[in-house]
Structure formats: structure tokens, C-alpha cells
Amino acid sequence: MAPPAAKAVAGPRRGPKPAGPARLDLLPAAADLQAAIADWQTWLRDEKRASAHTLLAYRRDLNHFLTFLAGHLGKAASLKDLSGLAAADFRAWLAARAGQGLERSSTARALSSLRGFFRWLTKRGLAENAALAGLRTPKPAKSVPKALTAAEAGEVIDSVAELSEEDWVGKRDCAVLLLLYGCGLRIGEALGLTRGEAPKPGQEFLVVTGKGNKQRMVPLLPLVSEAISDYLAACPYGGDAEAPLFYGKRGGALGARQVQQRMRALRGLLGLPESATPHALRHSFATHLLAGGGDLRTIQELLGHASLSTTQRYTEVDVASLLEVYDRAHPRARTPARSR
């Protein structure tokens, strides 16, 4: 048998492999900046309670900026370099992102990440740069949440059990989707529930832990509680109070990908559009509440939105229904014939 070295040189020479994505643990930065970034991430995790997903997103945004800066400056940037950057340098980075075809929403988020890092550096006296504050944030294209109609949402809930050969799996999927549509939970919030957090018979509210570990209370429809009870009675897997509420077929915690696959199958079965995703059920929860006369502040609390402006997107979803609610509910909108 030929030794490993001989194998390594045998065969025709090939061109260099295409460069893969930059490793996030090898940021192109000088040692002092590397240390500052590590401290910043620790602060985000421990003080701000940022999730692992958020930390990775911030680090990815910073990696893109520092990679650009290394080419722009001709060297790995240091803390001193960051303090010396002019507005033109930041604009060059924004132009580079635009030239790469990156979405404006992505660039707006990256700029927000960068500003957050620079604010942290300033508070700790490590670097300061006023030029960044003067940059205008790119306005992302206005998007309106795509909700299902009430009839479509009902079909989804009624039909999901048909996709599973095992009875308990169908009941599980029905319970999960009802949490999204009946309570407005994010998919991660629903799948993050533990056995101990499962609603008890007659329970009227569910405590949900959302983004930033913030808790909120959402009303529990009897239909949702019953669906969860039916699933628990049929589920072959048990566990203590800290065990996951929802299990996959093999006994591990149910993942978001499996729920997304269920919705993909339902789109084919029911002829629904591509926008019919698990998150669309949460959009539908908010849209249907608003169309039924719910006020924005209440819906904001139910959804766990930090800002009312996020909730206000739903006002554009069903203008016709809102006008109907206004005409029915507002005293000045009533005609003399209807005002009795």
C-alpha cells in the first residue's frame, strides 16, 4: 500500500477550491479588536440575555464589515482604526453591500448591529466614532404580513392529522398549529414549552417566554387546551416537568423543521399559496383579531411585540374588514336608522 504522502501527490493537479464562507471564529481584526468583540458578545449574552441566534447574527454582520474593512484599509482593523473611520468609509461599506445584491432589510439590520457595537465601545472608552451616527439607515421595502383566511386556517387545523399514520403524531401536529393560530405563539415559543408548562383542564391563560426571555400571558381557548390534553394522553413519551412538551417520532424534542414540512405538505393538499407557513398562522391570529375589532395595544401584548410599530403592520392587511368594524362600532358612523 502506498504511504499517505504518495497518495497526496498522486493524480492530476487541480485548481484551488472555491473559498467557502468566512469562519466566524476568525474575524479579520487586530488582537485588541478581537478581544473587544469577545467581551461585547459576552455582555450581549449575559447582560442583555441575547439568544444564540441573535449573537450569531450580530457576529455575522460584524464579520462582513471587518472583512470589507480589511480590504479597504489594506490590513486587519484595530480599535484605533475604528475611531479614525470617516463617513465615506462607512458609505463605501454600504455601497459594497448594495453591489453584492444584499437586501436593504439585511443592510439595515447590519448597520444596527454595527451601531450597537460602536455604542458599546464608546461606553467603555475603547473607541469612539461620531461619523456612524450620521449615516441614514436604508429603508427596507414595505412588507405586509400574509395571513390565511379564517376558512383556510380552519382547513389547516382540521386537515393536519390526515398527514400522519400514527394517531399521536396527528394530535401533536394539531396541538402545535393551534398554539400558533389560537394563541399567536411563535413557532419557537410553542416548541419551547415544557411538560410542566402544559395547560391544565380549565386553565384560562398560558405563560409564554418570548424574545429576550420576556414573559407574557395569552388567553387559552378551550379548543387549544383540549388539543394539548388529547396529544398528551396519546403521546408514547413521558418525562418530568422540564421535559419538552412536544416530541418527535424518535423521542427527541420536536424541531421547527418538522412543523415547516407539515405546512409544506398541507399547502399541496389544500392548494394553499407558498406564503402559508407556520408563521403565517401567527399572522392570521393577529389579522383576524384586528378585523374582529381587537385594539392594537392588546394585540401587541398578545404577540409579545416590543414596539407598537411592528404590530401596526397588521392594519394594512384587511382594510375592508376594519372599515366594516368601524361602521358597526363607532357611534358617529351609525346612520339614524341604525341608532336606536
Catalytic residue chosen out of the listed positions 58, 181, 247, 314: 314
Q: State the angle between helix axes of 150-159 and 256-270 in degrees (0 to 180), rounded to the nearest 10.
A: 110
Whether 257 is catalytic is: no
Burial class (CB in 10 A: 0-12, 13-18, 19+), 216: middle
Whether 64 is catalytic is: no
Q: Which residues contact 335 (CB under 8 A, 6 or more apart)?
A: none
Asked whether 174 and 165 are in contact (CB, 8 A), the reply is no
Catalytic residue chosen out of the listed positions 97, 171, 195, 282: 282
Catalytic residue chosen out of the listed positions 60, 104, 146, 211: 211
Catalytic residue chosen out of the listed positions 59, 171, 172, 186: 186
User: What are the cell numbers at 211?
Assistant: 424574545
Q: How far apart are CA 226 and CA 199, in angstroms?
A: 9
SS3 218: strand
Q: How far apart are CA 214 and CA 220, in angstroms?
A: 19
Whether 305 is catalytic is: yes
Q: Which residues contact 56 (CB under 8 A, 6 or more apart)?
A: 24
Whether 282 is catalytic is: yes
Catalytic residue chosen out of the listed positions 59, 97, 283, 305: 305
Q: How far apart are CA 290 and CA 281, in angstroms?
A: 14
Asked whether 76 and 30 are in contact (CB, 8 A), the reply is yes
Q: How far apart are CA 246 and CA 240, in angstroms?
A: 13
CA angle 147, 266, 177 (to 5 degrees): 60
Whether 334 is catalytic is: no
Query: Residue 188 is inside which H or E element, if any?
Result: helix 187-191
Whether 72 is catalytic is: no
Asked whether 144 and 254 are in contact (CB, 8 A), the reply is no
Q: Which residues contact 126 (CB under 8 A, 6 or more apart)?
A: 36, 79
Active site members:
186, 211, 279, 282, 305, 314
